[in-house]
Structure 1
Amino acid sequence: MSLLNAQNAQNAQNAQNAQNAQNAQNAQGAGSGEGSSMMAMALLRTRDAIVGAELITPEAGTPSSLDMAGRLERLDGDHRAAVIAGELLEDISFTFEDYTPAETTCRTATVLRRTTDGDALNASYTPFAEITRPGLAEFSAAAQMVANYAELRADRSAEIQVQTQHLIPFFASIMPMEPSRAPAIREALFTALDMATFVVMRVKLALGCPRPTQFTDRIQPMISCPTHATLPSGHSTQAFTLATLLSLLQDPDAEVQPDSQLYRLACRIAINRTVAGVHFPADSAAGAVLGIQLGRYMFQRARAEITGSGELGHASFDGSKFTDGAHPRDFHYAILNEMTTGADPSASFPVAKTPVRPAPMWGSLAKRAAEEWGQRWS
């Protein structure tokens, strides 16, 4: 076929595809798409015409040839997400430490994971992320820093507004994961976003930390201020969960590299929430610790399923120590580097690790994601 003929054939195919798309749109608009009442009536009439009142002879049927992971792939996306999230969450629990004397909010929230010992009725748990809130004095002192960040709003307005709804496209601009070539990777990332939301909201509720706008009427956020508590930052938790998962996808033994593009992006997403006027720098720092640990938790549970060996340590963040002497502390990737290397008193990432339980359903998705990454040059 000549180049011109090939082009004509392609043009014809494109025209046909466009016509099919238009026909589908017209049918839906006319009320005859899948799920419409007109479609249901048409199907009903068709069956009456070609089946009528004939007696049917059912097939005997055969046992399923797919295991649970194989059947999982056949579910609709939202149902598959529910199964995987349920599997990952069933091993997570929380404990809370009160102030003395007790207040309505707790001082420390600890996220625990189920260990490999014991059955479901006698399960034991071990901590993997511990978050201690700053006091009101530390939050109040940091309000001026939040106000100073307002100077960057005009420059970052587009990012801030888009990031209220979308984070994955920013990571996809760093790593090749187009929807048609990396569906499992992207599905894994959406699962990570959900996991981060489930966990961080529980911690936020327990710690009950106030927003910057509650300390002064001069912050005037550029976006709607969320009604839930401020620390840890949900955007920071989500961004660092994604950065950690993607970093481990590239290198299963990778440590946090604050100067890498993935972690620079996570820092910027977190900082943008301070620029917007809805978060303190300490919120971002707490979210970074929680997000890193959640990313590791998810990766190691998949690794335990795929390779038979996955281990996770315990990290902590103490907001009462997130200061520069008598002054509030900022957050950026240089600070993150201090936090992850033991040079910052507010954060701790001990080396000791213990085994995690395998997660078969999540592991099947993670395995497909790893295969997609391995085929990225194809």
Structure 2
Amino acid sequence: MFSISGYLKEWFNTTKYILTQPRDFFKEMPTSGSFKEPLNFMIFTIFIASLLSTPIIMLTFADYLSEMDLSCIILVTAGAFVFSLFVMAISVPLNAFTYHILLMICGANGNFKTTLRVFCYYLSASVFILPSIGIMMLILHIAEKNGLEGGLFDIVSIVFLMAVVILFTYYAFYILFVGFSEAHRMSMKRVIFALVGIPLVINIIIAAIPMAMVFSSGFSTEACGQSTENTLPFDHEYTDTSHVESNITASYGSIPVVDGYYTPEDKWQETQEVNFTSEDVEYTIAAKHDSENLYILIKWEGDPVWQNSMDIHFEQDGNSHDHNLSTGRDDYKYNGAKVYGPGNFADAHYSGGAREEENGMVAGNYSDGFWVQEWVVPLRSADPGDINVEQLPAELGFAVLDWGSGIATGRWPARAWPYEPETWGNLEIVE
């Protein structure tokens, strides 16, 4: 039986998850299947947001409302609520459609429903933006009524405006960009270019047309009929050849102790270690195998960071890889160790948009200023998407990304990006 209090609790938990851990939420968000859950979330969020926006509308017309009787105020309040409800309900599909076109131009992998799903959950940002605007307007209204004006009033207004616009709005767009990046398997820079760069370029072109007409009118008519072709300054096929020089060898050897610690007894010293520095953090990667499983160790220095997640990516085409996610297998594993605890492990791969449950295991610990994570990855899996090495030697595309506060603070290779395998390195599994 449907329970309002139960659904309200579920909605609150989902909203909290989106606002505090957007990257993890959109990693786990299904990109296909039933649309019932995101639709219900959108409807309920619009209802809550309309309730929150009503006081803002009322504060805007506070001077006029003071001259009305109670019945008129109630009528205006109800009208403001219905108006807000209607505007938000119409804006969701329209904005999603516009954003989807821009994302498709920059190589989005999902369909319109994928974009709409992200937008449905992105509405949760209004839950903290609208109250912030309302509080700001209320404080300014009270300050103005108490005679605060002139330079001091302007300073207070600017401070509150900057706090809302720069801090809250910036984070709201960050949630949206992260959602599109994860759902459409796009790099953040492509998402930003799609939603910010392209509209900016279009506006510049639109503004430049009348200026060019005015400018050209000062010249002779011989210049008429000439046209200048405008192209967007975006190279869709980003290429980085760093993977040619970025190699890790996984040799055959004894099974290491997988407990999240790096000690001589763990037998990792039998392997080749790769050391690199990224964002002033020193990392060590080691890899080995026993023909059945691939074992990977990652060690780095630093304190736990909010919203941190260590991700490893594999790309395979037979016994090799071609740096292209459109073919072969993309096996992706992430561990939100600094959020959920060192034993948390998730596995995902993309095969027609499907994501799966855990395949393998991870152990991790933080001690003496160092983090250690050890991964066990099956080499022979019957599940589509997981790596399946039938014979050795073999070569896999490989990348490591350490997400700190939602930003890739550590990368191997140096310019690695999850959805651009041409930036990945090579993992050579030898006999």
Whether TM-score is above 0.5 comes out as no
Name which structure has the greater RCO, CA cutoff 8 Å, separation 6+.
Answer: 1
More strand by share: 2
Give the structure with the higher percent helix: 1
State TM-score, norm by structure 2: 0.21
| TM-score, length of structure 1 as denominator length | 0.24
